[in-house]
């Protein structure tokens, strides 16, 4: 039976690729809905971008929900410097026409978990964790009903990409991340430590182009757009494709490896705000609370992406 998932997201080019990967995999993933949160760009654009992505994939019956417009306790920090002013710079796509659902994203998350069998719903979080944390705060009983949370966020050996200590998604709303990591829900984290092994290259962009479809063309142009920023920043051969790692982990977990460790979120220090303090070497007596992924077979990851996206 396909995995029943909700995608919580702030699209972003790499979010777009993750959503497309999920929509291209109905044999193993059933996307129940897409919930938008403010992050890479403000909420109005993340909602619009989710609709654009679904229309690109010809999945106009997908339900899209608008969520939280700002973090729990802080001013919103966005990332137009990476993703461009629209969040999906790199290609111009038509204005979306599919509807936005009236129900708030947080309520959709709560209702879906409550109205389905326990341990049947997976939350795939690709952006700041505000919507997920709000759902846990509003209805604490869902923590024992949700199957798992798989999220892109944090870093340990790779340190930070928005500050010296913090990865963007966790930095934007560290209080939300703290709530999620302390929830008792089964958590798998895809941090920069693994996503920085999922590097775009000219050869891999060409493989997307050779899909020879609107989806392949869009993915090639999106990845080419944000590759320029990351190559200049990191001095690497290509840019990391972060968010698709979440969906790829759901489809083929055996191409990843990691450790079950304790992860705490720093919320008090302005110097290290949003740092994911992962006890990788188990030097404390804190109970493990997350599978922290560090390894990836990059060739198998990109082969999976091309194979699946070719089906849209």
Residues noted as catalytic:
242
- Residue 174 tokens read as 């560290």
Q: Which helix (H) or strand (E) holds 244?
A: helix 244-251
Q: Which two tokens stand for residue 310?
A: 């070719």
Structure tokens given for 211 = 């899909």
DSSP characters over the chain: --EEEEEEE---HHHHHHHHHHHT-TTTEEEEEEEE-SSSS-HHHHHHHHHHHHHHTT-TT--EEE--SS-SSS-----HHHH-TTSSTTS--PPP-SPPPSS-HHHHHHHHHHTS-TT-EEEEE-S-SHHHHHHHHH-GGGGGT--EEEEE---STT--SSSSS--HHHHH-HHHHHHHHTS---EEEE-HHHHTTSB--HHHHHHHHTT-SHHHHHHHHHHHHHHHHHHHHH--SS-B--THHHHHHHH-GGGEEEEEE-EEE--S-SSSTT-EEE-TT--S-PPP-EEEEEEE-HHHHHHHHHHHHTT-
Q: Decide if 224 contacts 203 (C-beta within 8 A).
A: no
Query: Cβ-count burial of 269 within 10 angstroms (0-12 exposed, 13-18 middle, 19+ buried)?
Result: exposed
What totals of helices (H) and strands (E) does the chain contain, helices first? 12, 10
């Amino acid at each position: 039976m396909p995995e029943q998932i909700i995608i919580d997201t702030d699209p972003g080019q790499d979010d777009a690729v993750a959503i497309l990967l999920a929509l291209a995999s109905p044999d193993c993933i059933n996307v129940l809905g897409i919930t938008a949160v403010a992050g890479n760009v403000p909420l109005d654009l993340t909602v619009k971008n989710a609709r654009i992505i679904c229309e690109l994939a010809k999945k106009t019956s997908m339900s899209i929900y608008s969520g939280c417009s700002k973090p729990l306790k802080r001013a919103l920090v966005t990332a137009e410097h990476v993703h461009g002013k629209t969040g999906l710079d790199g290609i111009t796509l038509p204005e979306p026409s599919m509807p936005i659902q009236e129900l708030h994203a947080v309520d959709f998350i709560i209702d879906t978990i409550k109205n389905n069998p326990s341990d049947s719903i997976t939350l795939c979080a690709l952006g700041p964790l505000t919507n997920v944390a709000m759902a846990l705060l509003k209805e604490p009983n869902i923590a024992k009903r949700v199957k798992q949370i798989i999220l892109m966020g944090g870093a340990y050996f790779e340190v930070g990409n928005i500050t010296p200590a913090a990865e963007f998604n966790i930095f934007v709303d560290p209080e939300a991340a703290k709530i999620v990591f302390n929830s008792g829900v089964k958590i798998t984290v895809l941090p920069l430590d693994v996503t920085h092994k999922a590097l775009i290259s000219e050869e891999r962009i060409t493989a997307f182009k050779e899909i020879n479809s609107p989806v392949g063309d869009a993915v090639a142009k999106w990845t080419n757009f944000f590759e320029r920023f990351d190559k200049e920043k990191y001095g690497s051969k290509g840019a990391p494709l972060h968010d698709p790692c979440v969906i790829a982990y759901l489809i083929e977990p055996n191409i990843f490896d990691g450790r079950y460790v304790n992860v705490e979120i720093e919320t008090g220090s302005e110097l290290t705000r949003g740092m994911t303090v992962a006890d990788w070497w188990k030097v404390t007596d804190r109970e493990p609370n997350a599978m922290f992924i560090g390894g990836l077979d990059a060739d198998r990851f990109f082969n999976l992406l091309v194979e699946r996206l070719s089906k849209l």
